[in-house]
Structure 1
Amino acid sequence: MFFSVIIPLYNRPQEIKELLETLVQQTYKHFEVLVIEDGSKLDAADIVKGFTDQLDLRYYVKENGGQGFARNYAFERAKGDYFIIFDSDCLIPPDYLQIVNDSLATHWLDAYGGPDAAHESFTPTQKAISYAMTSPFTTGGIRGNKKAIGGQFHPRSFNMGLSRAAWQKAGGFKITRLGEDIEYSIRIHSFGFKIGLIPEAKVYHKRRTNLAQFYKQIHFFGRARINIYKFFPDTLKLVHFFPAAFTVFLIFMILSNIFYPPLGIFFNIILALIIMLIFFHAWWKNKSLKIALLGVVASFIQLTAYGLGFMQDFWKRIVLKKQVPTL
């Protein structure tokens, strides 16, 4: 199997350096790398050039069009039998490509996704964010489970692969962000291609370096779920309303404490139980008191940011039926 590793890049020279360093260390060597500089103001040309004698590497520069269309640009130029997509803020374990090759040889998938985890070098905040994005109490762990709570497993584009045949049949990304990977996964599946999780094919995903950036990203994810609904209405499940329900719960808790304290006490007890559950689970997973505390904060940000983004576009695009430009 010859792999084409595709990496869209936007203003992240240091991140791409670290990612390429991990690709140099791959034990499976039959692959090429395509880096697509998507209109960056802070480009990585000099950094990427430093790896051309260590990797089968091509570097392209295009006008900014978003990550989905940057991947399409790479698909059209890739030579591989199978395309693998990474976000530029990922670190790849040295046996990743070997794991994928062996898995596809024994259990073929036309498209796959893999889980993400926190690397030991990550900051406590990054580890807490990683916990919030993989915890069963926030996302339901859907990014690393074969059986998603909301139904069919959908690969996420930070760690995703698809065969050349799937691309040729389904085409590339139709939207460039706002849930572009889930829309693409659903479309590939609609053509009868087999999609699944390779649990061992994990990457270390940095995500955001601070909680303010994390909030902004997750708010965008909440909006993206409504964008996916506009393409595939039957994919909106009850579980997708959970962050919004949690956000409404917090609002009612605050109001009840102000206007009707007896009811506020009841809400406070529920909230305390939720905090304890997340705290002890994060502590058990990370073996760190600091990360556990930050994990509670990150989990609340994950739930409320997603909930607010979801409610914002649900109200605008579904209730009011406003036309919002598709990204």
Structure 2
Amino acid sequence: MNCYFSIIIPVYNRPNEIDELLASFTSQDYASPFEIIIIEDGSTLTCESVVKQYEDSLFLRYFYKENSGPGASRNFGMQRAKGDYFIILDSDVILPPQYLSEVDKALQFNYTDAFGGPDASHDSFSNLQKAINYSMTSVLTTGGIRGKKTAVGKFQPRSFNMGISKKAFQKTKGFADYRAGEDIDLTFRLWQNQFKTQLITNAFVYHKRRSTLKQFLKQTYAFGTARPLLNKRYPSSAKITYWFPSLFIIGLFFSIMLAFVNWPIFITLYSLYFVFIFIHSLIVNKNSIVALYSILTSVTQFLGYGSGFFYSYLIKK
């Protein structure tokens, strides 16, 4: 089968997510052929039976391999892909019907050897998942770096929704063997090899992310620990803004302590910030429960990333 796009999806013990993702592929309005490569990364709860349910409606290729992490699994899939351009997705996303058409249209208008797309919250997501999505994408929390045109700094594609040409993959050898930050590392190597990247704003996905605060904390902690290592490998990429989550948490701790000795000015400033988050999330999500959760998820995000960053900086420097 000749195809332009090869969709690369690693999965680990998440057959229900693959079911939802493949169902969204059946609704794509993209007319040209494409293949979907599912890489089962050593799962004990496999999605093979789910994949078989879609074999009549989608061109699917399923591989089972020993567990090696998502980066190596993506490389495994790209090495076996038949297409000329690889689209990499996480298993916990759902595609809107126009996704592939928007990618194709953007690449025809302005071809680049790699791209990234933003994520959004689906109506079916839980209130907590919507709040987590807000915290990860809001200009008030991350500066909008995950897919907004008004983002601070140059956009760095993320592996939950990104593309890379076969040529660029062969030149860079794909993802390095890291458990976190492997997508940012790949972006830096793409730039070093003179490959251009772009943000395709309309190529968004509905990203479920983590469903509990504990899982979200663990995920953001991993993100935080990866950043000092990336700064060490690519010194020119280091920015003072990466310290903000750590400073935020340290400042919050001392503000609470100072409030107990009748010096409330700093905790008042933090409270005003949380009010801004509530109002902004309420405007974005039109749900007061999600807005309240957004305060909690934002603090969880800062705590996870900030503590991970600080620990990694002290231990790994």
Q: Identify whether the pair has TM-score above 0.5, normalized to the shorter chain.
A: yes
Map of 1:261 onto structure 2: 262
Per the TM alignment, residue 152 of structure 1 is displaced from its structure 2 partner at its CA by 2.7
Q: Say which of 133, 140, 165 aligns to 1:163.
A: 165
Question: Of 32, 47, 56, which residue of structure 2 is paired with 1:44?
Answer: 47
Partners of 2:236 and 2:258 in 1: how far apart? 35
Q: Distance in 2 between matches of 1:170 and 1:286?
A: 39
Q: Which aligned pairs between 1:299-310 and structure 2 lie closer than 5 A?
A: 299-310=298-309
What is the aligned partner in structure 1 of residue 23 from structure 2?
A: 21
Displacement of 1:178: 1.5
User: Following TM superposition, by how much is the alpha carbon of 1:172 offset from its aligned partner in structure 2, in angstroms?
Assistant: 1.3
Pair 1:64 & 2:60 matched: no
Query: Equivalent residue for 1:34?
Result: 37
Aligned partners of 1:105, 1:276: CA distance in 2, in Å?
Answer: 43
Alignment partner of 1:125 is 2:128: yes
| 1:19-73 Cα shifts (integer Å, max 9, x gaps) | 0000111111421000000001111111111111111100000000000000000
Aligned to 1:323: none
Counterparts in 2 of 1:218-257, with a 5 A limit? 218-257=220-259
The SS at the match of 2:299 is helix
For 1:72 and 1:208, locate their aligned partners in 2 and report how far apart those are by CA, in whole Å.
Answer: 24
Contact 1:2 1:31 in 2 (8 A): yes
For 1:283, the equivalent position in structure 2 comes to 282
Matched, 1:272 2:271: yes
Q: Report how far residue 278 of structure 1 moved.
A: 0.4
Matched, 1:93 2:96: yes
The residue identity in structure 2 corresponding to 1:188 is: L
Q: How many residue pairs end up in the alignment?
A: 314
Shift of 1:148: 4.4
Matched, 1:214 2:216: yes
C-alpha deviation, 1:135, in angstroms: 0.8
Question: SS in structure 2 opposite 1:162?
Answer: strand
Query: What CA distance in whole angstroms lies between the structure 2 residues aligned with 1:239 and 1:298?
Result: 20
Deviation at 1:252, TM superposition (A): 1.0
Structure 1: distance between partners of 2:198 and 2:223: 22
Distance in 2 (CA, whole Å) between partners of 1:129 and 1:230 is 29
The aligned counterpart of 1:173 is 175
TM-score, scaled to structure 2: 0.96
Q: CA contact under 8 A between 1:113 and 1:197: conserved in structure 2?
A: yes
* SS state at 1:37 partner: strand
CA 1:169–1:143 in structure 2 vs 1: closer, same or farther (change >3 Å)?
same
Mapped partners of 1:100, 1:180: distance in 2? 23
Q: Any gaps of 5 or more consecutive residues in structure 1? A: 319-327
Alpha carbons of structure 1 residues 147 and 192: separation in structure 2 relative to 1, 3 Å: farther
Distance of 2:316 and 2:258 partners within structure 1? 30
Three-state SS of the structure 2 residue aligned to 1:100 is helix
The equivalent residue for 1:77 is: 80
What is the Cα deviation at residue 305 of structure 1?
Answer: 1.1
Q: C-alpha displacement at 1:272, in angstroms?
A: 1.2
What is the alpha-carbon distance in structure 1 between the residues aligned to residue 33 and residue 266 of structure 2? 57
Q: Which runs of 5+ in 2 are unaligned?
A: none
Measured against aligned partners, the alpha-carbon deviations of 1:196-233 in whole angstroms (never above 9, x if no partner) come to 10000000000011111111111111111122123212
RMSD value, Cα: 1.2
Identity %: 47
